């Protein structure tokens, strides 16, 4: 098994490190446009192998996608963070161009690869990669839900003073402020979380989760990388090992939840073929309203990308 991670920044390097440490693939190729950057990160990870004890070979290359040929899974983390004075449209335009270029190279050398998008803005970058690759929606999807649920579960574990291992949860919708919390589908050792925490506490945890990325930026001055990188690696593991894990991922909905043509987080079964099945939950009226709000937000950003594409055509 061969996995490529495009972008050797903090998120990409963390993803590659987790993939190697957990021996999820035989070879992990790290790609970056900065000369020597991916080579250095990959070499550092490889030199850790005798210490931790793993066999996965990590290789770094500068812009040479021929070295990624025949990858089974490709994780795309490329893109620039939003800088002071940069509008949302500027960020979308810049990163869409990067994701488009990377996806073209990925498809050229690994036509059968399953593609996982981590680049931001996540939902619309997944849309861009899907358009560029021409692949089925089951083969191109985004990582956001696993990260959001991980934050949610971590905060719940703190509040309840229990192991995060015993908390199962699912969130839906867009990544960030418009995510859709589903406390009804959250359990602690099989016990509904609504029986263990009052609504006020739950609401506060949900709000903190939605703003989870912003909290870290305020603390560190930059975006998170350990949890996002590990989340992407967990998705790769589910595919490579055909685990058929149930995860929330960003996918193009085609009628599910009454939504068509919009990229939103939804629970799916993830296995060797990519998304094996989209799971439709029976949402109540409040949850449906929140999902519709999220849909509208994501569609607005998708429309902005479409307008840019038409202008540049």
Per the annotation, binding residues for NAD(+) are: 7-12, 32, 95, 118-120
At 262 the three-state DSSP class reads strand
Measured distance CA(172)–CA(270) in Å, rounded: 16
Give the torsion through C-alpha atoms of 293, 231, 82, 205, to 10 deg.
Answer: 50
CA 225 – CA 216 distance, rounded (Å): 10
Contacts of 123 (CB under 8 A, 6+ apart): 142, 144, 174, 175, 250, 263, 264, 298, 301, 302
Eight-state DSSP code of residue 81: P
Q: Are strands 114-117 and 140-142 parallel, antiparallel or unpaired?
A: parallel
Matching residue, tokens 């070499």:
43
297 is catalytic: no
Per DSSP, the three-state class of 141 is: strand
Contact of 38 with 30, CB cutoff 8 Å = yes
Going by the annotation, the residues of the binding site for substrate are: 82, 88, 120, 151
Residues 6+ apart with CB under 8 A from 106: 4, 6, 65, 68, 71, 74, 76, 113, 115, 133
Structure tokens at 217: 């930026």
Q: Which of 2, 130, 153, 175 is catalytic?
A: 175
Q: Catalogue the active-site residues.
A: 175
């Amino acid at each position: 098994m061969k996995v490529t991670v495009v972008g050797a920044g903090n998120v990409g390097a963390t993803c590659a490190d987790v993939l190697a440490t957990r021996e999820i693939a035989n070879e992990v190729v790290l790609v970056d446009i900065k000369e020597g950057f991916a080579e250095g990160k990959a070499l550092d990870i490889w030199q850790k192998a005798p210490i931790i004890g793993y066999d996965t070979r990590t290789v770094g290359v500068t812009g040479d996608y021929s070295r990624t040929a025949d990858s089974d899974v490709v994780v795309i983390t490329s893109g620039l963070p939003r800088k002071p004075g940069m509008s949302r449209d500027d960020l979308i335009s810049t990163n869409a161009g990067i994701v488009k270029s990377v996806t073209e190279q990925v498809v050229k050398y690994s036509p059968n690869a399953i593609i996982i998008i981590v680049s931001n803005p996540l939902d619309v970058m997944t849309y861009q990669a899907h358009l560029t690759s021409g692949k089925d929606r089951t083969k191109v999807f985004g990582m956001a839900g696993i990260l959001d649920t991980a934050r949610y579960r971590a905060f719940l574990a703190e509040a309840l003073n229990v192991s995060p291992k015993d908390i199962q949860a699912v969130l839906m919708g867009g990544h960030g402020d418009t995510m859709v919390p589903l406390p009804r589908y959250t359990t602690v050792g099989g016990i509904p979380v609504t029986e263990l925490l009052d609504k006020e506490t739950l609401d506060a945890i949900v709000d903190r989760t939605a703003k989870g990325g912003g909290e870290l930026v305020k603390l560190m001055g930059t975006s998170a990388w350990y949890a996002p990188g590990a989340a992407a690696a967990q998705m790769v593991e589910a595919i490579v090992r055909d685990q058929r894990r149930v995860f929330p991922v960003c996918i193009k909905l085609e009628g599910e939840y009454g939504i068509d043509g919009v990229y939103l987080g939804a629970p799916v079964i993830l296995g060797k073929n990519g998304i094996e099945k989209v799971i439709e939950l029976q949402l109540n009226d409040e949850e449906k309203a929140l999902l519709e709000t999220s849909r509208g937000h994501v569609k607005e950003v998708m429309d902005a990308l479409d307008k840019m594409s038409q202008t540049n055509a």
